[in-house]
Amino acid sequence: MSNIKRIAVLTSGGDAPGMNAAIRAVVRTSVYHDLHVYGVMRGYDGLINGDIRRLEARDVANIIQRGGTILKTARSNRFETTEGRKTAYDNLVANDIDGLVVIGGNGTYAGGLQFMQEYDIPVVGLPGTIDNDLYGTDYSIGFDTAINTAIEAVDKIRDTADSHNRIFFIEVMGRHSGFIALHTGIGSGAGAIFLPEREMNVEDLSESLRKSAKRQKLFNLVIVAEGNKSGETNEIARQIKIMNPEFDVKVTIIGHLQRGGFPTAMDRVLASRMGHSAVQALMRGESGTAIGLINDKITFTPFHDAIHKRKALNEELIRMAEILAM
């Protein structure tokens, strides 16, 4: 067991539903073990600004169901500098904080890794990102809520697509990762899915849509990840319209709607398990590790691997999606 007595927790980068559940778990697990726990406002910027406040169990009451993060979040250019990290460390020392839990994505982990390498303070990370693209965990905090939000939106778009016999191109988040697009496409019964990880030929899609029309399938839904390799969603839709002037083609971009809202039960439980495990890991003396969940078991992955190793899409799911879209 380590000599950890005071733990700080922060959220960094893009917000994700379930972050509050993770904060709650970190705070209450710390209090249970007679540790002092502090919340850092606005991520690494808050460390530099010294915006650090003591948290008690009552401070995290009634937040498990809330989206966003009560600690706020930010991307910090100053933390990328040597001077910024030195100031952040000095503020931790001034508050006698000897352990840090960071909740966020790849950039958050990278900042935590560099910080712990430069200074003698243990850091543990939780995967808080709707993209679900972090290596070392089957699911990241916020992913389940994001795809449920996206599918709910697509279901409503389906109603108008059916009523008007339209083809809708629906853009979801995912600049470098197609997890949201793939799961949204399967869950909504989409006719095609554009992913960042795979090339998709627009001419092939056009032919597929024409075949569907011949089978009297007069409307269709195409899910497009924002970072797909075939181009912007509006441009893909424009090309399909040029090839098929008879089609009624529309575009909807769901956007940041996917980041907000009440977290699902899965995200609340996932975040709670991870937050609880993060405190226990610090108490055991662990550092530089990312908490994950694989096959429903809590796992620990070195920051370096979580940052640099690629989490691949499930090829069986991609093939299944293609078959079911026929």
For tokens 């008007």, the residue is 164
Q: Which of 1-5, 7-11, 185-189, 191-195 has the lowest mean pLDDT?
A: 1-5
Give the integer Cα–Cα distance in Å for 57 and 121.
24
Q: What is the pLDDT of residue 120?
A: 87
Tell the CATH superfamily of the 144-259 domain.
Answer: Phosphofructokinase domain (3.40.50.460)
pTM of the complete model: 0.95
Confidence of residue 2 (pLDDT cuts 50, 70, 90): confident
CB 50 within 8 A of CB 84: no
Query: 6-142+263-308: which CATH topology?
Result: Rossmann fold (3.40.50)
Look up 59 and say whether it is catalytic.
Answer: no
- Parallel, antiparallel or unpaired: strands 297-302 and 289-294: antiparallel
For the chain, domain boundaries: 6-142+263-308, 144-259
Say which amino acid occupies 187: G
For tokens 């924002």, the residue is 226
What share of the chain has pLDDT > 70, as a percent?
A: 100
Q: What is the pLDDT of residue 219?
A: 83
Give the integer Cα–Cα distance in Å for 130 and 92.
29
Identify the three-state secondary structure at position 253: strand
Total Cβ atoms within 10 A of residue 24: 25
- The arithmetic mean of pLDDT across residues 244-254, rounded, is 95
What pLDDT digit, counting tens, does each position of 104-140 carry? 999 999 999 999 999 989 999 999 999 999 999 999 9
Confidence of residue 5 (pLDDT cuts 50, 70, 90): very high
What pLDDT digit, counting tens, does each position of 189-243 carry? 999 999 999 988 999 999 999 988 888 777 899 999 999 999 999 999 999 999 9
What pLDDT digit, counting tens, does each position of 21-60 carry? 999 999 999 999 999 999 999 999 999 999 999 999 999 9
Same fold, 6-142+263-308 and 144-259: yes
For tokens 């200074």, the residue is 119
Give the integer Cα–Cα distance in Å for 225 and 243.
22
Q: What is the pLDDT of residue 1?
A: 64
The residue annotated as part of the active site, out of 131, 133, 144, 267, is 131
**Token pair of 318 as six digits:** 């991609």
Give the integer Cα–Cα distance in Å for 285 and 289.
11
